[in-house]
Structure 1
Amino acid sequence: MVKGSFTDESFWSVQIDRLWKARIIDGYNLLPKLLPDFISKVEIIEGDGGIGTVKKLSFTKGINGNGFVIEKIMALDRDCYLIKDTVINGGLIGPRLISYSFEHKFEKISDHSTLVKLTVEYESSDEYPLSVEEQNLLIVRMTGIMKAIEGYLHTHPTAYV
């Protein structure tokens, strides 16, 4: 078993409050509408959206054989724009990873731009850390979700204000 982590930063041309509300607060409603070829539905299994909430993201067929991911919110600070989700079932849990989590920290750059820092922590089920390709796959998925939200917010300027 190997414990590891990696980080990524991305800039988005959207106000921090709108991006936070669309991605974190209402993502369970918005993501299946924006990404129907990737996410078929998002369900809240337990909780009210705060710490301890368990969400299930169901993927369309053909997404690397993974039909779902169940995540639990481990940390949520609305004032600091920080959320940490731990995957508790599905996704890469199984042959490759014992556990993994995503922490998103949103930072205001200007009135119309936001920096999102992503930190992924994991524990592999073998003696090898995640390869650069495996890390990039997770980053690309997160970036794709954010690009879809950014595009939606640009074309709907009154959404999530």
Structure 2
Amino acid sequence: MKGHLSADTPVAASASLVWDAYRGLELGRLVTELLGDVIGRAEVVEGDGGVGTIIKLTFPPGTPGAGYMKEIFRIADEEKRVKESETIEGGFKALGFDQYRIRLEVIEKDAVSSIIRSSVEYEIGDDSKTDLASLATTKPLEIMAETIGKYVAQKNSSTS
């Protein structure tokens, strides 16, 4: 069984400014700084933020499941402003998903606003585990997009 979820978050900042926050390793730093108690703490296992980089996200205490996940960056497209990662250990893999991918895309609306599109694609190979699909969610990605979007917009308005 395959599934796909997507959510769009409007941001009052240009796509280039939002992408600066989402590209490379900056996103992990911001998640740890701004959302460490909600989403978790990100640390680089290996890599420089490009394709092949492995990040470990340690979830806050009380989060159900494995308590952490490791993901690898599969796509980092500067031109299209797309970043895609795949869970390789812990997290949704530990819950029984065969594959769990996150795609983050920054879409330009106009010179001063953009959209962060957060998508999840998943695969569950065992038909007896189809109830797992109800666990797939974009909610943490939406929280991240809202928080980082506000951070970028406020940072931009204070420097202009």
Task: Give the TM-score, by structure 2 length.
Answer: 0.85
In structure 1, runs of 5+ residues without a counterpart are none
Moved more, 8-17 or 66-75: 8-17
Deviations 1:45-102 (A, max 9, x none): 1111111111111111112234111110111110110111001011111343121101
Counterpart residue type for residue 87 of structure 1: T
Q: Is 1:150 matched up with 2:149?
A: yes
1:120 CA drift (Å): 1.7
Q: Is 1:7 matched up with 2:6?
A: yes
Moved more, 6-15 or 72-81: 6-15
- Please name the residue that 2:68 is paired with: 68
C-alpha RMSD of the superposition: 2.3
Q: Distance in 1 between matches of 2:158 and 2:20?
A: 10
Q: Distance in 1 between matches of 2:48 and 2:158?
A: 22
Deviations 1:88-124 (A, max 9, x none): 0111113431211011222100111112223321111
Q: Distance in 2 between matches of 1:4 and 1:68?
A: 22
- How many pairs are equivalent? 157
Alignment of 1:73-88 (within 5 A): 73-88=73-88
Q: Distance in 2 between matches of 1:145 and 1:101?
A: 16
Is the Cα–Cα contact under 8 Å of residues 76 and 84 in structure 1 kept in the other structure? yes
Query: Aligned in 2, Cα 1:124/1:158: closer, same or farther, shift over 3 Å?
Result: same
SS in 2 for 1:27: helix
Is the Cα–Cα contact under 8 Å of residues 85 and 102 in structure 2 kept in the other structure? yes
Identity of aligned residues (%): 24
